[in-house]
């Protein structure tokens, strides 16, 4: 991929949490609000388990199966690029330089502002371990667990949100970046 300097006005935020914590669901609810605010959004999703988004029987699938290390397909509505290698987060951010906001789903160890999803008291350790945490988004906690997360947010001076506070989360994100 071609390396290009990042925009200085581009906003980048990470949404992190353990598997099945609701990262994709939360991001899917935030995007329409951001679109209504006229932000051009790009999302980069991390998958430590590997993936294949190409479908058996398509031309690009056949070309990859034949040994092409990279394929691209484009139409008037969509472009897809598949490479048989890992691409750095920075290269992907650079690729999306025309977008106002890049949301990184996962990539816990990257050095960008983070919202951490907490679904149990065990998840609270992430808040302490990760860098650049700016807020906690919780869901499915009982009263005792919620009190513990509240105490942690106060101790760490972090904003705290219930997962359904979509508009408040968006306003906080935009104001914090």
Dump pLDDT digits (tens) for 103-144. 999 999 999 999 999 999 999 999 999 999 999 999 999 999
Report the alpha-carbon angle 30-141-125, nearest 5: 85
Tell me the two tokens of residue 25: 């669901």
Report the pLDDT value the prediction gives residue 78, as an integer from 0 to 100.
87
Domains of the chain: 11-47+88-176 (3.40.50.300)
Tell me the two tokens of residue 133: 């945490």
Report the pLDDT value the prediction gives residue 129, as an integer from 0 to 100.
96
Q: Check: CB of residue 9 under 8 Å from CB of residue 98.
A: no
- Mean of pLDDT over the chain: 91
Evaluate if residue 5 carries a pLDDT over 90: no
The secondary element (H helix, E strand) that includes residue 70 is strand 70-74
Report the pLDDT value the prediction gives residue 124, as an integer from 0 to 100.
94
pTM across the whole model: 0.87
Dump pLDDT digits (tens) for 149-177. 999 999 999 999 999 999 999 999 999 98
């Amino acid at each position: 991929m071609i390396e290009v300097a990042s925009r200085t006005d581009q906003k980048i935020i990470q949404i992190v949490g353990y598997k099945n914590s609701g990262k994709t669901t939360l991001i899917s609810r935030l995007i329409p609000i951001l679109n209504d605010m006229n932000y051009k959004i790009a999302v980069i999703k991390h998958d430590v388990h590997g993936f294949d988004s190409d479908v058996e029987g398509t031309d690009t699938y056949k070309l990859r199966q034949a040994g092409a290390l990279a394929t691209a397909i484009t139409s008037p509505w969509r472009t897809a690029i598949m490479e048989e290698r890992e691409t750095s987060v920075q290269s992907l951010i650079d690729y999306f330089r025309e977008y106002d906001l890049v949301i990184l789903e996962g990539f816990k160890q990257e050095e960008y502002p983070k919202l951490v999803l907490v679904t149990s008291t065990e998840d609270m350790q992430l808040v302490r371990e990760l860098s650049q945490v700016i807020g906690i988004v919780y869901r499915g906690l009982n009263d005792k667990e919620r009190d513990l997360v509240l105490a942690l947010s106060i101790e760490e001076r972090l904003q705290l949100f219930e997962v359904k506070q979509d508009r408040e989360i968006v306003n906080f994100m935009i104001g914090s970046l």
